[in-house]
Structure 1
Amino acid sequence: MGLFTRDIKTMNDLFVHQLQDIYYAEQQLVNALPKMAEKATEQQLKQGFLTHLDETKGHVKRLEQVFQMIGIQVKGIDCPAIDGIIKEANETAGEVADKAVLDAALINAAQAAEHYEISRYGSLIAWAKQLGRNDCASILVKTLDEEKATDKKLTSLAEGKVNLRAAS
């Protein structure tokens, strides 16, 4: 089912579709983050990926809770956006020989994923409220806050040392 298909007829249909999309995305990131941590050479970056892996596993559990609250079977649907972000990150990482530059590239890839997630969670929260599901919105807000915090940490790490090391 594509985003703009006749299968989505109501705001609730759209809400469920995007829940399934972000559920798939979070599962893909659970698989990608350990590989990113393994490739990272800067210790804070490596640890940051592992910390966010634990958070991401929590995001999956929260999404499962939302599915249960709305009475929908837990399932993900293919998300070409996150697949593309991860594919691009893997391709770029494979092309970078300089480890300092690799760390900068990994941060860039991680922020692309974070920004995707931030946009999805923001919409889901707005839609949940519109649908009268403030209970779901409050759960999703916790995840959105963690995604924003991770993005800020990545920016701080990039601007504080990683980009400087990569440029020298």
Structure 2
Amino acid sequence: MIVTIKLPTNNPADEGSYISLTATNLHVPKLYTNNVIGNDYAIITVEENLSDYGSVFLGIPTSDIVDKNVTIHNLGYNGYAYLKIDDGTAYSITENGNLLYSNLISKGGTSGGPVYVQSTFGNSNETSGSFTMQTYKTVVGIVSQAGENITEATCIRSEILQFAYNNSNL
């Protein structure tokens, strides 16, 4: 069976503003079907080349993200109206490392979006070469529930990293 995924290229979606993707593999944790918290994610491999859309690193959040008040961001749709980025800080990670809780102000439509940190490296005096200023984004979670004063995210964990980085289909 061929599964086609249609994603809007803008929101609200206009007629004809979709890209169609052909799913070739789908990974949904078995524990998600058993309603085990922290397994609210899916990884979908598609046939089409998506390199023009950019990429991000994946990383495991540690207690430093909470202890050092690291600014985190999430990307999603604000009340289904338009794409936006929210900023906040994480205030806890569950003991088993499955969930990250933050004060990100998120609206409906953000679920499934990335929670990420940004880091800037380089020398501001360099204008070319490998030492110029560069900003890296590292996804540390996936928004599973969003509310007015709290956002719950499924943490990127070692098994997700293993699947993503040791998978020749991705």
Q: TM-score, structure 1 length as denominator?
A: 0.26
The structure where helix makes up a greater share of residues is 1
Higher RCO structure, 1 or 2 (CA under 8 Å, sep 6+): 1
